[in-house]
A and B are shown apart, each in its own frame.
Chain A
Amino acid sequence: MKHSLRLRVGPVGFRIGSDWHGPIDALADLYRDYPQPEVSDFTVRLEAPAPWRRVVRPTIVLGGDYMVPDAAPLPLRHGLLAAEMAMNLQVALGHRRHLLLHAAAVARDDRCMILTGESGAGKSTLAAMLMAEGWRLLGDEFVLVDLVSGAAHPFPRLVSLKNESVTAVTARLPAARFGPVLEGTPKGTIRHLVPDARAIAGMDVPAMPVAILFPRFGAARDVRPMEAGEAFVRLTQASTNYTALGETGFRALTGLVGRVPAMAIDYPDGATGVALVEDLWRAR
């Protein structure tokens, strides 16, 4: 590839190649404090669908070791989003060293809270708000659960903020580093937040989960304990590699939900969500 970059996020090394310098420059700037990998676990390719599409209505096709045949291409102006999506795709489809949960996680010292739920449940926003309160961000997209110990391994990629949460988090973290505001993407307006120095410095320090939270933004404050069986079923659906891991994944996930209490939490706004997580942390 004409332009390329290597970087490591937690236990995963990426090599990202691109037909254009724009997405690589954006990544190099936002990930400038991240280490170089000794080996690259995944190759990510941002390619034009045809040679002339590098310049005429430039369009990015997401590629790499693992491909999704019907992934929609993105315009070059959304190159940073394309790169992040392509990195997610490689990890979601190819990573086998941990049980992958589609979730955010925040830690204090060596204990963490997992925040999981469908896209739009508010886990990225809540994780960013908790980072602003001094929590160590383990990640906002994937939690990597160790297959033997059950510890959550940090994977602090850029935090993907969407629509209303862009304004809310930008106001809450005025000194943080952000990527460009990307408007008109398939997910609406997106802006990437760079994890803070604590999150980057701690990217090799796992934390043991002490609670699994299923947040829901927009409802009155409420906490409901969740049966382990329901948490298990929901987390099998929130995992991209549970089935691929077979018996190992079964043991890791039943171990996690057997050990760690699960709760559904509702919150009407970010401040209440942060207070709720802090209360649950103190009460555990």
Chain B
Amino acid sequence: MFRGPPADALIAAPLGELVALYHRPSGQTHVVAPPAPEILAALAEGPLTLDALLARLARDYDLADPDREALAARVAELVAVGMVEA
């Protein structure tokens, strides 16, 4: 299960192709590229397994070729910086 911060814990500012995120609980700023904002938006609604997250993203963003391995790597990056709990 992966648990993301609630929606009100993050402030997002789109900057071209990137998104700057201010994580209120830690006071840290992260600059992220897609699909990190989409992953966080999906996890803001509640914790999900990797497969459930993949299904949610495939549904919401009309993914032509959902790639479980690539998603796992992106989620691992968010876990590494403390934005997502594994």
Q: Which residues of A contact B (CB under 8 A)?
A: 227-229, 231-233, 236, 242-243, 246-247, 250-251, 254-255, 257-258
Q: Give Cα A236–Cα B21 distance, bound, in whole angstroms.
A: 13
A247 near B15 (CB under 8 angstroms)?
no
Q: Which residues of B contact A (CB under 8 A)?
A: 11, 13-18, 20, 22, 24, 27, 29, 31
Report which residue of B11, B14, B15, B31 has the largest number of chain A beta carbons within 10 angstroms of its beta carbon: B15
The residues of B that contact A251 with a CB separation of less than 8 Å are: 11, 13
B16 near A228 (CB under 8 angstroms)?
yes
B20 near A229 (CB under 8 angstroms)?
yes
Supply 15 A–B pairs (Cβ within 8 Å), ascending by A.
Answer: A227-B18, A228-B16, A228-B18, A229-B18, A229-B31, A232-B15, A232-B20, A232-B31, A242-B29, A247-B11, A247-B24, A251-B13, A254-B13, A254-B15, A255-B13
Q: Give Cα A236–Cα B29 distance, bound, in whole angstroms.
A: 9
A227 near B15 (CB under 8 angstroms)?
yes
Number of inter-chain CB pairs below 8 Å:
42
A250 near B16 (CB under 8 angstroms)?
no
B13 near A250 (CB under 8 angstroms)?
yes
The residues of B that contact A257 with a CB separation of less than 8 Å are: 15
Chain B residue nearest to A227 (CB atoms) is B16
Q: Chain A binding site: helix, strand, loop or mixed by DSSP?
A: helix
Q: Chain B binding site: helix, strand, loop or mixed by DSSP?
A: strand
Question: Smallest Cβ distance from A151 to chain B, in angstroms?
Answer: 19
Chain A residue nearest to B12 (CB atoms) is A254
Question: Smallest Cβ distance from B23 to chain A, in angstroms?
Answer: 10
Question: Smallest Cβ distance from B8 to chain A, in angstroms?
Answer: 12
Q: Give Cα A258–Cα B16 distance, bound, in whole angstroms.
A: 8
The residues of A that contact B24 with a CB separation of less than 8 Å are: 247
B15 near A250 (CB under 8 angstroms)?
no
Chain B residue nearest to A250 (CB atoms) is B22
- Given the interface pairs A233-B31, A243-B27, the reply to whether A250 lies near B17 with Cβ below 8 Å is no
